[in-house]
Structure 1
Amino acid sequence: MSCKYIYSHVVRLLNESDTMYIEFKDAMFGRPKSIRLLREDILRFMEMREIGARQILVYMGHLYQDLKKKDKADYFSFVDPGNIPTCLIGTDGRDLSQHIADQLEAVSRDSICLIPYNTGYHWILTIVNEDKNMIYLLDSTSNRNRDDTWKTIVTKCTMPRRVFLKGHVLKY
């Protein structure tokens, strides 16, 4: 289905109060998860405006379904972006590091973990690959406007729990 068709459908047929209910499989986050996607959420995405956690969840759900079809879903785990605060808790991010560590604790150690994070103005993707002792930070803005706070938080949260990651390398 083309994007133009979806966009015209949303504009013409959905009212401001209409929502789309989306359920995610238990295996994706280790627990049931559902969201209501608003008309405005769809329009934001289609008009290439700033998107939020609900739109990222739809992306993640699509990726999970695609991996499932290819029998590769067991190799990946996902952290729900709705469970990650978008601002620091505490003065040095220690509380947020612990929060992320708790999220990582819930996922399989044998999988590649995908963690979307909103820096407040921009989404980045963190990939924790324990097999290679690597943490990848994928940031489409490259080095522009880099805020190393997230890098510090991820480093703090992986080191105590995953001792074998102590020699980790952050890749950009």
Structure 2
Amino acid sequence: MASKSPIIFKVPTRLPMFLKILLGSVKHVEPGFMIDILMETNIMGEQYTLYISHEDIVHFGLMEEIGASCISFYISIIYSELCDREISHFFGFIEPSWSSRIGTNMDNRAEIISEHINNTVMGQTWLIPYHFLRHWMLVIIDPDDNTCYYLDPLGKSPPNDLKNLMNK
């Protein structure tokens, strides 16, 4: 039988305020608690409900290994900031599970990404999170210049899976 006690963790003092508030909001919730977030069509091209568990929030807030739902949640925060600055039209986002090797094959992933990028407006750059071997990376596509950039905080070369995906 599952434990009915909340996750025990300490909120670090050296965190941005929004992470402290986020962690404080789930500190005493029951296991199985979920937050549902409406991801509007203009964020990633289609409307859907994102479900975030309190475990996801703790991992996100403590900067531990996170899953696709946390990356999507973070994208929604970035999108909100871009809207506040009235520059959201310069960026497009791809749902992390559409680009990463999470339950789909290469052709399906390439088709989904292509469909979204084909709707690009002049001057728009696409930000695509990519997950490989328990590690998140970022791909930036500039369709105007037909250029693809790869950012890996570990400084590694792009994995072959990603190279093949971008070639398709």
Q: TM-score range by the shorter chain?
A: 0.7 to 0.9
2:160 counterpart residue number: 148
2:67 matches 1:55: no
Question: Structure 1 pair 50/94, CA: closer, same or farther in 2 (3 Å)?
Answer: same
Identity %, equivalent residues? 24
**Bigger helix share:** 1
2:26 matches 1:7: no
2:131 counterpart residue number: 118
2:7 counterpart residue number: none
Q: What CA RMSD, in Å, does the superposition of the two structures yield over aligned residues?
A: 2.4
Question: Structure 1 pair 54/89, CA: closer, same or farther in 2 (3 Å)?
Answer: closer
Whole-angstrom distance in 1 between the partners of 2:37 and 2:18: 20
Whole-angstrom distance in 2 between the partners of 1:24 and 1:85: 19
1:18 counterpart residue number: 33
Whole-angstrom distance in 2 between the partners of 1:4 and 1:28: 25
2:56 matches 1:44: no
Whole-angstrom distance in 1 between the partners of 2:37 and 2:107: 33
Aligned match for 1:132, one of 128, 142, 145: 145
Whole-angstrom distance in 2 between the partners of 1:75 and 1:138: 19
Question: Structure 1 pair 117/20, CA: closer, same or farther in 2 (3 Å)?
Answer: same
Whole-angstrom distance in 1 between the partners of 2:31 and 2:150: 36
- In the superposition, the TM-score normalised over structure 1's length comes to 0.75
Letter of the 2:19 counterpart: C
How many residues get paired? 151
Whole-angstrom distance in 2 between the partners of 1:138 and 1:150: 12
2:79 counterpart residue number: 64
Is the contact between residue 99 and residue 128 of structure 2 (CA under 8 Å) also seen in structure 1? no
Secondary structure, in 3 states, of the residue corresponding to 1:143?
coil
Question: Structure 1 pair 101/88, CA: closer, same or farther in 2 (3 Å)?
Answer: farther
Task: Structure 1: give runs of 5+ residues left out of the alignment.
Answer: 158-172
Letter of the 2:41 counterpart: D
Letter of the 1:152 counterpart: N
Secondary structure, in 3 states, of the residue corresponding to 2:72?
helix
Q: Alpha-carbon deviations, 1:103-135, whole Å to 9, x = none?
A: 433x32421011111113111111111223321
1:160 counterpart residue number: none
Whole-angstrom distance in 1 between the partners of 2:41 and 2:116: 15
Whole-angstrom distance in 2 between the partners of 1:88 and 1:55: 17
Is the contact between residue 109 and residue 130 of structure 1 (CA under 8 Å) also seen in structure 2? no
2:86 matches 1:74: no
Whole-angstrom distance in 2 between the partners of 1:71 and 1:9: 29
- In the superposition, the TM-score normalised over structure 2's length comes to 0.77
